Amino acid sequence: MLSIGHNESSPMKAAPDKLLLAVDLAGTFVFGLEGAVAGVRGNLDALGLMVVAFATALGGGLVRDLLIGSVPPNAIRDVRYGLCAFAGAAVVFFLHPFVQQVPEPLLVLIDAAGLSLFAIAGARKALDYNIPPFSAVLMGGITGVGGGTIRDLFLAQVPAVLRTDIYAVAALLGAALMVIGVRLKLSPAAMALVGGLACFTLRMVSYHLHWNLPRLANN
Q: Cβ distance 160 to 102 under 8 Å?
A: no
Rounded CA-CA distance 3/42 in Å is: 40
pLDDT digits (tens, 9 = 90+) for 87-135: 999 999 998 888 778 888 988 898 898 899 899 989 999 999 999 999 9
* CB-based contacts of 185, cutoff 8 Å, min separation 6: 1
The predicted model gives 190-194 an average pLDDT of 92
pLDDT-derived band at 1, boundaries 50, 70, 90: very low
Rounded CA-CA distance 81/102 in Å is: 25
**The length of the chain, given as a count of residues:** 219
Q: Which amino acid would we find at residue 19?
A: L
pLDDT digits (tens, 9 = 90+) for 154-188: 999 989 888 877 889 999 999 999 999 999 999 98
Q: Please, what's the largest Cα pairwise distance for the chain?
A: 57
| Percent of the residues in the chain that have a pLDDT greater than 90, as a whole number | 59
User: What pLDDT is recorded for position 103?
Assistant: 87
Q: Which amino acid would we find at residue 27?
A: G
